[in-house]
Structure 1
Amino acid sequence: MTLLSLYLYQLVIIVSYNFRVNNKILGGLFCISWVALFAFRGKEYGLDIETYYNIFLDPDYYRLDEPLLVLINSLLSIASNDLFWFNLTYALLINVTLYYFFYKTSENFVICFILFSTSFLFYQFNLNIFRQGLANTLSVLFMVMFYRNKIYCSLLLLLPVFLHKSSVIFFLYFILSHFRINKNLVIFILISSLTPLIAILPKLLIEIASSIFPFLSNALTEYQRVSSNGEIGASSFNHRNIPVICSIFIVYLRWDSLDTKRGERILASMLVFSFLFATVFTGNVLLYDRLIIPAQLISVIFIVDYLKQKIRVYFPVVIMLLVIFSSLFTVLFWGPRNFLPEYEFLF
């Protein structure tokens, strides 16, 4: 009940403020609350985060291709190798980055952060796919800042690639963002994403990507091998898709009013193409789960902002219901079936 208690605490505060919570101090309080919770997690609470701790203790435990995490670990380990220190610093890195991302991309950043914290992806970032979560969040953030006339962020786009190689996909998003997209193309992509694609296409795209980016070759080939051998299954239409599909439909409705200066157009572009590329690899759940992450992250922004515009009077009630439903689903249904049992404290 520890996780649900934290959601209840957040709900009580935002209700007491009548949902006028978009100030940095209050949002920072929610962010630090999650940092504290993950800082005190038990050693075996989580999934790949335990492997990250072993790498933190010994870089030779698992050799990473990307050097940035090795550098981060080297700097952090100067202070301590203690598990609490590891938990605290890693929780700070991912959660402060997420909070700052929503702060820079939405006027309703506190609500976005709270709603995202109820999703399974939030726990994936903190307890499983830490590197990719951090790298993808930074990539989306740097893309938005670049389109707000901060040219130096174009150089920063290279940084997440040295943290997780999957971030190389954002260079493709960068190129595609320069093409004019008609709103009818958005709905066409949405419909196409819901229909099966020919089986040969994923294999062909993997071969092309491997030839263009040789450093991706080993990972992509392995993903293709385990998929062909039946070691992993296909992705299916489930709860992961619903918020993304809703947000793409919202993008279609709002296409003509998207604010380019605020970065809404580039966010919409990444949302749509991330979902499209993920759908191409529906038959390979490993690739699908990695390609759809930007869309899952961005979808929260469009949903919250649209609800605030269209149902201003009932907005608090709707958000409260979404937080309650999503948190209960994640903690009580999704969690026990994956890697999220009852919370375990370090001490």
Structure 2
Amino acid sequence: MGLRGTRDTPPTQCCFGQGRGTWGISPQEGDGGVSGEGDGSPAPDNRPLSAVSGWAGRGQGSGPWGWAPWGRGVRGWAPSGCCGSCSPLRPFLAFSSSPVSGSPPLLSRLSGSRLPLPRHGTPAPAQAPRCPGQAFQISRLLAAFRACVTPDGEILLGEYLAGWKELIKLIDALGAAFGLLAQETQTKMEILQGHRAGPHAPHYRTLQAMVAFELQRGLVGLRVLPPDWPPSGCRTLLRLHRALKWLELFLGKLSHSGPEEDPSQLCAVAYQAALAPYHSWWVRQAAGLAFLALPSRRELYGLVCAEGEREARAMLLDAVGIIARVYNVTQRVYATRGLLELP
């Protein structure tokens, strides 16, 4: 049974990217609703229906971060925009349940039907940018990583790389000291994009398929990396995976810490836990110098375009939860296959 309005009003409009659910879907407030059997009776209330590390691993090449300069750019993508005529709402915050005085019912009864959900592999469009002139948009980051994990627990590599495309913008926004780090992260992404566009592209749609294919073909050097071998997808994504843990830990510490705690120190602690064990002494020293140039807490909150500290903390916590889910699924895949210590 489809969606239709009440007897006297047109059907409501739906907008993707405005809710807090898995796909961020919630009906936009309109003039009509979803009817039951045509009796036009309103819903019990007027609330909206919300749907519900080491990058520079050993043997990876030259450079201060230990990376090899494969690739010439990034061809990743990130979802953006908002569908239909929906108006941007504050991201990642619950909708108000207070009815608007004099307004018609927002929703009528559901008669056993469901709102259609976009299939996995097509991220829900992100909200309109809150800081239009800023490269990094946390709404695009969350839209990509939300769509990254399927109901079956698979990691979609296209959406994974789309999320990392936004993370690169965040790293780049941390200052010139992090510029090389951002560039070399792009190099890792380009390697994976090359696999996805190559002759074996069907095997690089999901993380699980990529791991199974490369192990079966003997493309992963489990103990040493032969100098004439191209970098495998498993090894390349492992570097991004470790770095994702660093960012997860740092954003989590930033959202829970008090104003007296120095963000540069928080970032250094997260680095020591997630990435330092895989880096050489020289790389660790360079990273320590970069952390000293980290922006202030207020400037970091400004990167998520929050209206005040409370909202900034809430937005960061949302990001941490979504990133942690992607990380945990990836960690299980690598641990099951014995790939967490690839050279």
Q: TM-score, normalised by structure 1?
A: 0.29
Q: Which has the higher contact order (CA 8 A, sep 6+)?
A: 1
User: Which is richer in helix?
Assistant: 1
Greater C-alpha radius of gyration: 2
